[in-house]
């Protein structure tokens, strides 16, 4: 590494060159570790401070749209003091001085870094380095753009007499400056200055190598995080809650400071976070958007202070990663919800097929029963009118007649369920129908300690409906609600105008139903009531009536919390052709 401009020769020069070569090797070797910027500048500054015997080693390095100034000061009898902080740059790429900085010194730094100094003057080397053995004495420097133009610097050294300021560049791009300062006058010899310049070339390589190592490591961490999420997404049987928990755990290792990184995902009111998560001053956040609607967010915070980078202490790549994570989470959720919707639709189709099959069977049974029931009813009534009928026979005939009427009612309900009793539709006001039904239940509400809440929407549009069948829907649902609240409770009846549909909502605070029961409530003859207390046809009839009106019915229930029926009815009769069996 002997510099050709070193004119002196001898053992001392050879030993000095060898020492510089050893230091250069140490710096390059250390750069292989890919340490963080602050740790790297601290270690290199320590090496240079020990090697040079200077009082201060100063670095100015570009990065993340700003300059990072580090300074290591040698203290007598104490550990060296190291400090690093960011400086903003102006539109010309120059350092903007802080309130406590010497403006002329910062101007000198900018002039050296930008390469604006005329090299043909005593205090300047061919590489553009500036040195002085007496910084307390004013001096002037000519500029390249106009050699008649001088910049004057007065007492810029402060406590230091000797300064050596070496520009740093990579691929002809200026990246910063290395400064060595000593309190001793004329501390730097010309031969040593050349060696420090040669050392700075290896330092530039080390800086570039360190940056590449850090970038590579951060990209590997990011890809590892994304790969982990892809693994989770590929497990269809893994619950969504478990996926979000695992994603939260995969986030901190992907950030620059994993040991102080905490993450949290908020989704649909639920929170999934790493241990000890606390909102902090330094945090990043990205919304989870699904189908244009915000459903949650993902947050990353640092638990401790760290130097300013692109976005506070965060890297711009981390912002990109966070946005990517929010999109990946949204995609996973959309995929899961789409799969669940598909399963629900398939189940609805299967359920509809089952109901259709049962409906056909019920219709057949009803038709087969109608004729013999009619005969039984007719002959029972004739026998009952016979003169001189014994008392006991009369009572028995009364029982036969009542049982036949009950059977006929069941047949009627079966035909309604099978949609073989066409509704007689007219324009009706749903509010009026509901109010008429509620009048029959007010006394029962008072008797059974049930609070009746009526919330009917004003100006509700009329609908095409069969009034008697809609009455039957309301009555059946009201009776079910009463039976679900043996100890009393609240019963809310509500109408809502929504889009092109009218909603009838009946909600109770009763015992509720399990998922297994919910799956069967529209199946004819299914009942949870005791024998003799229910036919199992009430809700199937409700379903048949609503379906025949072109509407739909949704049921939400939780054991111990109650049940909510939502019936949607179109405002006008759908333009479809309905076929009924004779």
DSSP per residue, 320-332:
HHHHHHHHHHHHH
User: What pLDDT score does 72 carry?
Assistant: 95
pLDDT band at 10 (very low <50, low <70, confident <90, very high): low
Distance CA 365, CA 269 (A): 50
Work out the average pLDDT over 422-445.
84
User: What pLDDT score does 257 carry?
Assistant: 87
| Whether the predicted pLDDT of 223 surpasses 90 | yes
Q: How many helices (H) and strands (E) does the chain have?
A: 11, 19
DSSP state of 251: S
User: What pLDDT score does 16 carry?
Assistant: 86
| CA separation, residue 377 to residues 98, 368, 383, 405 (Å) | 105, 15, 10, 8
Helix (H) or strand (E) holding 569: strand 562-570
Work out the average pLDDT over 245-256.
92
DSSP state of 89: B
Distance CA 572, CA 427 (A): 9
pLDDT band at 572 (very low <50, low <70, confident <90, very high): low
Tell me: the pLDDT tens digits for 101-114? 999 999 999 999 99
Residue with tokens 């199992």: 536
User: What pLDDT score does 573 carry?
Assistant: 52
DSSP state of 145: S
Of the two residues 28 and 364, the one the predictor is more confident about is: 28
Residue 428 phi, psi (nearest 5): -135, 155
Work out the average pLDDT over 46-58.
95
User: What pLDDT score does 8 carry?
Assistant: 47
Angle subtended at Cα 514 by Cα 513 and Cα 518, rounded to the nearest 5 degrees:
75
How far, rounded to the nearest angstrom, does the alpha carbon of residue 297 sit from its chain's CA centroid? 3
| Whether the predicted pLDDT of 248 surpasses 60 | yes
User: What pLDDT score does 421 carry?
Assistant: 56
What proportions of the chain, in percent to the nearest 5, are helix, strand and coil? 45, 25, 30
Six token digits for residue 1? 């590494």
Domains in the chain and their CATH numbers? 11-211 (3.30.450.40), 214-338 (3.30.450.40), 424-582 (3.30.565.10)
Residue with tokens 């324009």: 427
Show Cβ contacts of residue 486 under 8 Å, excluding neighbours closer than 6 positions.
Answer: none
Return the SS3 of 185. coil
Give me the sheet containing 173-182, strands edge to edge.
81-87, 66-73, 56-63, 173-182, 162-170, 130-132
Distance CA 521, CA 543 (A): 10
Of the two residues 504 and 358, the one the predictor is more confident about is: 504
| Whether the predicted pLDDT of 430 surpasses 70 | yes
Half-sphere exposure of 97 (CA within 13 A, CB side): 12
Return the SS3 of 270. strand
Tell me: the pLDDT tens digits for 160-202? 999 999 999 988 888 899 999 999 999 999 889 999 999 999 9
Helix (H) or strand (E) holding 578: none
| Whether the predicted pLDDT of 340 surpasses 70 | yes
Of the two residues 406 and 117, the one the predictor is more confident about is: 117
Helix (H) or strand (E) holding 459: none
Tell me: the pLDDT tens digits for 542-556? 888 888 888 999 999
Distance CA 259, CA 344 (A): 43
Work out the average pLDDT over 284-300.
92
Helix (H) or strand (E) holding 480: helix 467-484
In contact, 252 and 262? CB cutoff 8 Å: yes
Work out the average pLDDT over 403-420.
67
Work out the average pLDDT over 372-401.
81
pLDDT band at 396 (very low <50, low <70, confident <90, very high): confident
pTM (whole model) above 0.75: no
| Whether the predicted pLDDT of 1 surpasses 50 | no
How far, rounded to the nearest angstrom, does the alpha carbon of residue 536 sit from its chain's CA centroid? 45
User: What pLDDT score does 366 carry?
Assistant: 66
DSSP per residue over 405-458, as a string?
A: HHHHHHHHHHHHHTT-S----EEE-HHHHHHHHHHHHHHHHHHTTEEEEEEEPT
Angle subtended at Cα 538 by Cα 534 and Cα 541, rounded to the nearest 5 degrees:
150
User: What pLDDT score does 360 carry?
Assistant: 65
Alpha helices in 172-257, H assignment, sequence order: 190-233, 240-250
Work out the average pLDDT over 135-161.
85
Distance CA 463, CA 428 (A): 6
Of the two residues 324 and 547, the one the predictor is more confident about is: 324
Bridge-based pairing state of the strands 562-570 and 552-558: antiparallel
Work out the average pLDDT over 556-574.
86
User: What pLDDT score does 424 carry?
Assistant: 77
Distance CA 114, CA 524 (A): 87
Q: Please, what is the angle between helix 37-52 and helix 190-233, to 10°? A: 160
Q: What percentage of the chain has pLDDT greater than the value 70?
A: 87
């Amino acid at each position: 590494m002997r510099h050709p401009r070193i004119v002196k020769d001898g053992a001392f020069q050879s030993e000095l060159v060898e020492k510089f070569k050893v230091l250069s090797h140490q710096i390059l070797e250390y750069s292989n570790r890919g340490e963080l910027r602050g740790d790297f500048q601290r270690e290199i500054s320590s090496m240079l401070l020990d090697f040079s015997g200077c009082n201060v080693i100063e670095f100015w390095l570009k990065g993340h749209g700003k300059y990072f100034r580090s300074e290591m000061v040698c203290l007598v009898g104490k550990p060296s003091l190291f400090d690093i902080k960011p400086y903003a740059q102006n539109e010309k790429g120059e350092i903007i001085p802080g309130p406590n900085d010497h403006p002329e010194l910062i101007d000198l730094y900018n002039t050296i870094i930008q390469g604006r100094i005329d090299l043909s003057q005593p205090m300047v080397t061919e590489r553009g380095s500036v040195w002085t053995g007496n910084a307390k004495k004013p001096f002037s420097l000519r500029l390249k753009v106009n050699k008649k133009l001088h910049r004057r610097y007065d007492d810029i050294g402060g406590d230091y007499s000797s300064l050596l300021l070496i520009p740093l560049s990579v691929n002809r791009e200026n990246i910063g400056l290395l400064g060595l300062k000593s309190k001793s006058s004329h501390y730097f010899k010309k031969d040593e200055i050349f060696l420090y310049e040669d050392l700075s070339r290896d330092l530039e390589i080390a800086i570039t190598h360190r940056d590449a190592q850090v970038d590579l490591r951060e990209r590997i961490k990011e890809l590892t995080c994304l790969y982990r999420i892809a693994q989770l997404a590929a497990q269809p049987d893994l619950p969504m809650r478990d996926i979000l928990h695992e994603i939260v755990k995969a986030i901190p290792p992907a950030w620059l400071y994993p040991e102080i990184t905490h993450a949290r995902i908020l989704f649909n009111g639920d929170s999934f976070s790493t241990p000890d998560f606390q909102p902090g001053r330094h945090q990043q956040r990205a919304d989870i958007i699904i189908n244009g609607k915000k459903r949650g967010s993902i947050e990353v915070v640092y638990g401790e202070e760290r130097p300013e980078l692109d976005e506070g202490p965060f890297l711009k790549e981390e912002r990109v990663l966070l946005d990517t994570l929010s999109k990946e989470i949204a995609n996973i959720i959309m995929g899961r919800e789409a799969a669940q919707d598909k399963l629900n639709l398939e189940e609805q189709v299967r359920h509809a097929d089952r109901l259709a099959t049962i409906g056909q069977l019920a219709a057949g049974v009803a038709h087969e029963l109608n004729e013999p029931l009619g005969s039984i009813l007719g002959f029972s009534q004739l026998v009952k009118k016979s003169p001189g009928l014994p008392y006991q026979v009369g009572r028995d005939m009364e029982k036969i007649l009542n049982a036949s009427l009950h059977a006929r009612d069941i047949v009627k309900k079966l035909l309604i369920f099978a949609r073989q009793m066409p509704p007689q539709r007219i324009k009706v006001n749903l509010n009026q129908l509901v109010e008429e039904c509620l009048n029959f239940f007010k006394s029962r509400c008072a008797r059974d300690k049930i609070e009746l809440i009526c919330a009917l929407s004003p100006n509700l549009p009329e609908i095409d409906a069969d009034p008697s069948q809609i009455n039957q829907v309301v009555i059946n649902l009201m009776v079910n609600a009463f039976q679900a609240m043996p100890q009393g409770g609240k019963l809310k009846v509500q109408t809502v105008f929504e889009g092109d549909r009218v909603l009838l909502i009946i909600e109770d605070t009763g015992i509720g139903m399990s998922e297994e029961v919910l799956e069967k409530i529209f199946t004819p003859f299914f009942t949870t009531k005791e024998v003799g207390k229910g036919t199992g046809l009430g809700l199937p009839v409700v379903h048949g009536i609503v379906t025949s009106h072109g509407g739909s019915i949704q049921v939400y229930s939780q054991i111990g919390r109650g049940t909510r029926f939502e019936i949607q009815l179109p405002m006008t009769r759908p333009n479809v052709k309905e076929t009924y069996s004779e």
